[in-house]
Amino acid sequence: MDLVRVFENNQKWIKEKLALNPNFFNELGKGQNPELLFIGCSDSRVSAEELMGLGPGEAFVHRNIANMVTGTDLNVMSVIEYAVVHLKVNHVVVCGHYSCGGVKAAMQSADLGILNPWLRNIRDVYRLHKNKLNAITNEDDKYDRLVELNVQEQCVNLIKTAAVQKAYRDRALKVHGWVFDIHTGNLIDLKIDFDTILSNIMEIYHLD
Ligand code: CO
């Protein structure tokens, strides 16, 4: 990749934005008020804003390998705290994607060094849903289903945080589980039933 092109593209982008709105960058400079926190995979094909048709200022974005919401990861936990408590976003989205290399790696037994503890969190999702997953005989279908179940479990991990619980109670914050289908471009809402999940787990995870 010729990085000179990146800077040329940047100058073109500035011109395009200013042609549509001469105040575009003045307005951006005043601050942000995004309504949505998007937690997605670092995969280069999952271009968060582009696939949602959103522009600068509209989404607070966190990406890591396999869109994980891990309680001991200060990075994702800080992003959630800042977006939910300080920016007061109305929606938190965990967005997985089919053909996720992180999920694939967790389905295999290769020793991947420092990636092992990260991928172990996905193996834990597999263990939680082992019976359902092992009943799927087609490997591709099983892979797709693990991508979806991983999104669901990361949504559950979101609900374990005090920030999300409080915002859910106080101002009806919405949590969503989505999958981006790389093969078609479709964004799929998994329509996870949080009321049922919450009633099943809040006995254990409830924080005052
Ligand atoms: Co991925």
State pLDDT tens for residues 63-110: 999 999 999 999 999 999 999 999 999 999 999 999 999 999 999 999
86 and 167 belong to one structural domain: yes
**Statement to judge: residues 22 and 50 lie in one domain:** no
The rounded Å distance from CA 150 to ligand 1 centre is 11
Provide the pLDDT for residue 207: 85
**41 Cα–ligand 1 center, Å:** 5
- How far is Cα 153 from Cα 86, in angstroms, rounded to an integer? 25
**Does residue 38 sit in the same domain as residue 80?**
yes
Overall number of domains in the chain: 2
**Shared-domain flag, residues 94 and 10:** no
Measure 145 CA to ligand 1 centroid, in angstroms. Answer: 14
CB within 8 Å of 158: residues ≥ 6 apart: 69, 80, 92, 94, 164, 175
Supply the range of the domain harboring residue 83: 32-205
Distance, C-alpha 21 to centroid of its chain: 30
Give me ligand 1 centre to Cα 101, in Å: 5
Q: How far apart are CA 96 and CA 128, in angstroms?
A: 18
Query: Is the same domain home to 9 and 64?
Result: no
Digit-coded pLDDT (tens) for 153-164: 999 999 999 999
The residue type at 174:
K
Residues having C-beta closer than 5 Å to ion ligand 1: 41, 43, 100, 102
Which residues are known to be catalytic?
Answer: 41, 43, 45, 97, 100
Same domain, 8 and 83: no
For the stretch 73-77, contacts whose Cβ atoms lie closer than 8 Å and that sit 24 or more positions apart, written own/partner, are 76/39, 77/161
